[in-house]
Structure 1
Amino acid sequence: MKKIIAFLGFITVFGCAAKKEMYLFTSFREPATDGLYLATSEDGYHWQDLKGPYLKPEAGASKIMRDPSIVKGKDDIYHMVWTTDWKGGNGFGYANSKDLINWSEQQYIPVMKHEPSVVNVWAPEIFYDDEEDQYIIIWASTIPFRFEKGIEAEDNNHRMYYVTTKDFKTFSETKLFLDPGFSVIDCVIVKRAKNDYALIVKDNTRPRRDIQVAFGTSPTGPFTNMIEPFSGHLSEGPTVLKKDGKWLIYYDNYGKKNYKAVETSDFKNFKDVSNQIQLPEGHKHGTITTISKKVYKGLVAKEKEL
């Protein structure tokens, strides 16, 4: 029985015929006060709405849940982080679950408490580093007058930061993850092979606000050789899954209020496959992992109660 494990920051894909798994896409709905919404897919293109909310946000001052990022740990426990405050917060929310129905007590992780002028902590993303057996959490924050900027305001000049953890109880010191010389948010780490990583990046400068890719030999960088954007103007929130030897990148094409997707085998050439995907109405920025048939059946039963 062959088992292939490929870590995409937030996805584990099993090629085991006896244990067929499905894709799971996390989401939220505006105005982000309800909490976690879920969708599932067998083929990675067509998504079934499992409704929600499955977890009502309690962490943070604003009590919202945006950008829920989830990863399945090697212990089959799902770990999730999310944006808790649009502005004014210095941390993100965290909870875990074995079945995506029953959740641990929510925690607020104040990763930027050492920066009193920090404006925000946006879109935390979890990546499991299998080489170091640790989780890397990256996010975007603005610290006014810290970095050079373009025409965006000082309170909208983001850089990426990160912490590492093995147990979501003890965290490393917060460090700068990415400063490409311009405002950047919504980054996603993808492991392509040993010592070969791609970083999907949203250039958040005015008037760009599009998505591109950089490359590195470590999941914490440095990331260089950034290519031209593969998305159009006003796009964000990328997430990735691997299927049939290719990578499928979903992103929120928020300027036109729809979702789009591209296929790539090298993160340099991209094919628009947006006409092949189907997502629930109102689906917003989330990430993709996998679930077992057992977990799926539990979610379907729970959905009937919602």
Structure 2
Amino acid sequence: MKKVLFLLLFSIVMSCTSKKDIYLFTSFREPATEGLYLAYSKDGYHWKDLKGPYLKPEIGASKIMRDPSIAKGKDGIYHMVWTTDWRGGNGFGYASSKDLIDWSEQEFIPVMSHEPDVVNVWAPEIFYEDDNDRYIIIWASTIPFRYEKGEEDEKNNHRMYYVTTKDFKTFSETKLFIEPGFSVIDCVIVKRAKNDYALIVKDNTRPNRNLKVAFGKSPLGPFKNISEPYSGFLSEGPTVLEQDGKFIIYYDNYGEKNYKALKTSDFKSFKDITTEIDLPEGHKHGTITTISEDVLEKLIQKSKEK
């Protein structure tokens, strides 16, 4: 009897461990007209190409898809937003999927339509706030002559804005997310613990254009104590995965046309682990989420058709 119980428990344990979530990295390929590309990893370091495109952009004046950001909610549905226009747009693209293969109809969400002089809506990023079961979407926009600037042109002086939603049908009023006193883009919210958040930001001022981090007690801030740069010149597009109590920050080191990664436990000291990572050729920045093995198997089969 004891042997039977042991074998049963062993089978359950093995079943649970065999269903471990897989990391999924969204991406695009220049010139961003083809759509969504994907890569996966079982260890968070070595990424295998799932090819693409999985969703061809059909909305926005430019019909492009840059900076695809995905988050999964309690319902298991993947929600994705992306940049639709390099210049001239007043919103971002949106679609959802249960398996990352079959997608809902694409929608354009005009979050800055109330600002007639807005120059752009760049790199929308989804953060799922599980405590309130809602999604926070942040992005960078320039409104000329709205804020103080340094050497930047008025049409390149960004601040971060946000909306919240529970269903991607109704959205809160657009509000300012962070005003750090300098041009900022590519922010990423990271939950470290309850009431403890880090915010990765790109200082887009000239001549900086590097990554920094700020800290807050809520995913909506206020975020304070902005750090000194922890990345080199011409770096952007950060995304983060948590693993064994530590965080790996991937970012596009576009000045040298490669990808880099840093590991940290406190967002104060960082270890460069670039030599330990491997990404598909042509990979451009998106975000990292997780998928099940069942979803991965379907994606692998789909990738063989591409």
Tell me which interval the TM-score lies in, with the shorter structure as reference length. Answer: over 0.9
Offset at 1:95? 0.2
Match of 2:148 in 1: 148
Q: How far apart, CA to CA, are the structure 2 residues paired with 1:60 and 1:121?
A: 11
Match of 2:61 in 1: 61
Q: How far apart, CA to CA, are the structure 1 residues paired with 2:128 and 2:137?
A: 9
Match of 1:199 in 2: 199
- TM-score, normalization by structure 1: 0.94
Offset at 1:17? 2.3
Match of 2:83 in 1: 83
Match of 1:225 in 2: 225
Quote the RMSD (CA, aligned, Å): 0.6
- Structure 1 residues 154-174: Cα deviation after superposition (integer angstroms, max 9, x where no partner): 000000000000000000000
- TM-score, normalization by structure 2: 0.94
Indicate the structure whose relative CO is greater, using CA pairs within 8 Å and at least 6 residues apart.
1
| Aligned 1:101-180 pairs, distance under 5 A | 101-180=101-180
Match of 1:98 in 2: 98
- Could you tell me which amino acid in structure 2 is paired with residue 281 of structure 1? E
- Could you tell me which amino acid in structure 2 is paired with residue 35 of structure 1? G
Q: How far apart, CA to CA, are the structure 2 residues paired with 1:265 and 1:43?
A: 18
- Structure 1 residues 68-94: Cα deviation after superposition (integer angstroms, max 9, x where no partner): 000111111000000000000000000
The residue matched to 2:298 in structure 1 has which SS? helix
Paired-residue identity, %: 79
Match of 2:190 in 1: 190
The residue matched to 1:155 in structure 2 has which SS? helix
Q: How far apart, CA to CA, are the structure 1 residues paired with 2:274 and 2:39?
A: 17
- Structure 1 residues 267-299: Cα deviation after superposition (integer angstroms, max 9, x where no partner): 000000000000000100100000101100100
- Could you tell me which amino acid in structure 2 is paired with residue 63 of structure 1? K
Gaps of 5+ in 1: 1-15
- Could you tell me which amino acid in structure 1 is paired with residue 41 of structure 2? S
Match of 1:5 in 2: none
The residue matched to 2:17 in structure 1 has which SS? coil
Q: How far apart, CA to CA, are the structure 1 residues paired with 2:91 and 2:287?
A: 19
Q: How far apart, CA to CA, are the structure 1 residues paired with 2:201 and 2:44?
A: 22
Q: Say whether residues 1:275 and 2:269 are aligned partners.
A: no
Q: How far apart, CA to CA, are the structure 1 residues paired with 2:238 and 2:260?
A: 10
Q: Say whether residues 1:256 and 2:256 are aligned partners.
A: yes
Match of 2:12 in 1: none
Q: Which has the larger radius of gyration?
A: 2
Q: How far apart, CA to CA, are the structure 2 residues paired with 1:229 and 1:235?
A: 10
| Aligned 1:19-38 pairs, distance under 5 A | 19-38=19-38
Match of 2:4 in 1: none
Offset at 1:18? 5.2
Offset at 1:19? 2.5
Q: Which has the higher helix share?
A: 2
Q: How far apart, CA to CA, are the structure 1 residues paired with 2:190 and 2:83?
A: 21
Q: How far apart, CA to CA, are the structure 1 residues paired with 2:133 and 2:40?
A: 27
- Could you tell me which amino acid in structure 1 is paired with residue 36 of structure 2? L
- Could you tell me which amino acid in structure 1 is paired with residue 76 of structure 2? D
Q: How far apart, CA to CA, are the structure 2 residues paired with 1:129 and 1:167?
A: 13
- Number of equivalenced pairs: 291
- Structure 1 residues 34-56: Cα deviation after superposition (integer angstroms, max 9, x where no partner): 00000000000000001100000
